[in-house]
Amino acid sequence: MECQEKTIDDRMFSDAESRRDVWNRLRPFYDMIMNSDEENIIIVSHGDSLSVFHAMWFGLEVEMLNQCGLFGMSGGVSFMQKNEDGKHIIRRLSDMSYISE
């Protein structure tokens, strides 16, 4: 790690994306999902990208990622749903219960 990420515009490595870059890359994908008629959608991604996706899901602005953090565990599974009233809900965030010890 070359530097600590303190803001959404910082990069851990010189050739890495900032969280704002990830946001801008994910936004068209998020919009496509929101406009989809599919009932169930599975998304597989790296944790940081999913953290940004969760922020979008809650309707946060990208700058809010400077003030809050959504982090997950490697292999964690999140269950998100949009109810009949249009409310965005995360039923489970980074759930690891499928792994037996």
Range of the domain at 57: 19-74
Would 64 be classed as within a structural domain?
yes
- Please count the structural domains in the chain: 1
As a whole number of angstroms, the distance between CA 21 and CA 38 comes to 27
Would 53 be classed as within a structural domain?
yes
Would 24 be classed as within a structural domain?
yes
Q: Which long-range contacts (CB under 8 A, 24 or more apart) does 30-37 make?
A: 30/56, 30/57
- The predicted pLDDT at position 101 comes to 63
- Banded model confidence at residue 2, pLDDT cuts 50, 70, 90: confident
As a whole number of angstroms, the distance between CA 73 and CA 26 comes to 20
Would 33 be classed as within a structural domain?
yes
pLDDT digits (tens, 9 = 90+) for 35-91: 999 999 999 888 888 889 999 999 999 999 999 888 878 888 999 999 999 999 999
| Helices and strands of the chain, counted as H and E runs | 2, 2
The structure tokens listed for 95 are 């759930």
